Amino acid sequence: MTVIRPNSISGINSITGNGGDISIFRADGTAADVTVNNITSGIITATTFKGAVEGNVTGAVTGSGANLTSIPAAQLTGTVADARLSTVSSSKLSGALPAIDGSALTGVGVGTADSINTSGIITATAFVSDTPLFGRNKIINGEFRVNQRRHTGSAGHNSYTLDRWKYGRSANTEFSTSQSTDTPDGFANSVHMDCIGANGSTGAGDYAYWRYHIEGQDLQDLSKGTSAAKPFTLSFYFKSDITGVFAIHIADENSRMCNANYTVSNTNWNRYIITIPADTTGTIANSNAAGLEVRFYIIAGSNHTSGSAVHTWGAYSASSIATGHTANIVSTSHNLYLTGVQLEVGSVATPFEHRSFGEELIRCKRYFNMVADGSEARSGSSRSEGVIGNGFFWQSNRMMVPVKFQVAMRTPNWTLYKKNGEYRYYANGQSNQTCTQNDIGLNGQDGLNSAHLNITNISSSSAAGMFFVHDVNAALGFDAEL
C-alpha cells in the first residue's frame, strides 16, 4: 500500500484504486471528510452528505433515510413507501387521503359538534349516546295511526280529533279532518285537512292550526329555565297544495314562546326540520300538567303575524303567535297532510321513531281510554256487543257498573265520554233492557285506575248482568286529555 501525505494535490485527472476502495485519512489517522465539486455523473456512496445546496442534488439518492431531515415538500415526488412513515402529525396532512380500510384505523374520534351520516349496517360492541336510541320522540301518535274516537269530518274549535291532537280554528276557517293513507314512504297514515269553510279571503282575525300538548314531567331532560338548558328539534312530514311560508308556534307554561317558519315550495311530501334554541328562562314544572305546546299553523290572519323575531324565546304575544306565516287558504278546494311528527332533545333530527301500534295505543289511553266502541260489531251481525262491564242493582231502578281502566289515566279529574246509541243490560234468564247515553252517569270518580258507572231508567233486577253497547253509534270512554 502506498501512503501519500501531501498538503494538496492538483492537476490529477483520475485516481485508480488497486482492486479496492480508496481511503482518505487525516494526519492523525482518523477518517477525513471529502469535499467534491462539480460531479456530473457516477455514483457517490457515503454515510453522510453535508452542505448540499437545494437544487444541486438530482436523480435518485439511495440509502437509509434515517439521516434525512427538513426536506422541502416540493422536492418529494413519486411514491413514498408507507413503511417509512411514522408519527405523522395531523398538521402535516392536507388534501385528499386515499381510501383506507377502516380496520386499519385506530383511535379515530368524532367531535361532539359533528355527526356521521351513513348507510348500510353498523356493527359495534356498544352504542354510547347522550340521546337514547329509543324513547326519543316526545310526541305520541305522531303518525296519526290511533283514532279511538273514530273521528272524521268537521271539528269545532279546540276539540280533539285523532288521538292526542287538538284542532283550533276561527269561525271562517272550517276544515274536515280525517285519517288518511296518503303518506310518504315508510308511513301508514297521516292526518288529512280538507278546507270546507273559507270566505274567499283570510280575515285579520282568522286562524287554523293543529296543536299538541306535552306533560311537564316528560320534559325535564330539556333542563329549560336553567343554565344547562338544551335545544330541541322538531321534525315532520308535510304535504300541501298551497305553497308559501308556514308558521310553527312553541309555547311553555310560563307564557313564553318561540316561533319558527318553514317554506313549502312544491306540492310533494317533504320533511322539515326546525331546531328550537335552549331557553335558560322559564322552568317547566315536573307535573302532569301541560308544560309545552306545539302549534302547526295552516291559516293565520294579520292580527297574528306581526313581529319579526323567530327562533328566539320571549314573552307571549297574541299578535305574533304566527310570525311570518303567508300561506293562507282562501277557497275550499285545498288539501293538506301531516305525519311523522317528532320532537327530541338536541340540535340533530334523527330518523322518525316508529313504535308498534300496540305501544302507541297504550300511550294514548293514558289521555283517552275508549272502553267500548260500537264499531266492534260481532261476526255476521250489524249489531255490536262491546262489553263495558258487569253490573248489579243497588236500587230499584239504578244499576252500578264498575269499570277497571286498561291504563292509569293522566289525572283523576277525567270526564265521561259518550256517543249516542243503544246500550243494553242483560242478566241471565231475563230480557235485554235498553237505555241511551242520557241514562249513563257516574257514581263518583274513583281515581286514576277505575270508575263506577251509574245506570238509570232500567227495570229492577236482583241478578247481576252485563252492560254493553249494542249498535255502531254507541261508544263509551274516559277523557283525561291536556
pLDDT more than 70, % of the chain: 71
Report the percentage of the chain scoring pLDDT > 90: 53
Grid-cell match 271562517, residue found: 172
Q: Between 376 and 331, whose confidence is greater?
A: 331
User: Right CATH number for 153-364 from 2.40.110.10, 2.60.120.260, 3.30.470.20, 3.40.50.970?
Assistant: 2.60.120.260
Give the per-residue pLDDT at 276: 98
- 403 falls in which pLDDT band (50, 70, 90)? very high
Q: Give the chain's end-to-end CA distance (angstroms, integer).
A: 110
**Confidence tier at 465 by pLDDT (50, 70, 90):** confident
What is residue 331's predicted lDDT score, i.e. its pLDDT? Answer: 77
Kindly report the average pLDDT of the chain as a whole number: 84
- The predicted structure's pLDDT at residue 307: 84
Tell me what pLDDT residue 394 has: 82
| Mean pLDDT in residue range 400-410 | 94
Q: What is the mean pLDDT of residues 436-443?
A: 93
More confident residue, 64 or 338: 338
- Is it the case that residue 120 has pLDDT exceeding 70? no
Does residue 255 have a pLDDT over 90?
yes
Stronger pLDDT, 263 or 50, i.e. the higher one: 263
Rounded average pLDDT over 64-77: 64
Half-sphere exposure of 400 (CA within 13 A, CB side): 8
Q: Where are the domains of the chain?
A: 153-364, 366-479
Please tell me the least confidently modeled range out of 6-15, 44-53, 175-184, 366-375.
Answer: 44-53
pLDDT above 90: residue 344: yes
Structure confidence at residue 191 as a pLDDT band (50, 70, 90): very high
pLDDT at site 209? 94
| Confidence tier at 100 by pLDDT (50, 70, 90) | low
Return the minimum-mean-pLDDT range out of 219-223, 272-276, 473-477: 473-477
Q: pTM of this prediction?
A: 0.76
Give per-residue pLDDT as tens, 152-172. Answer: 998 888 899 999 999 999 877
Among 74-88, 136-150, 463-477, the range with the most confident prediction by mean pLDDT is 136-150
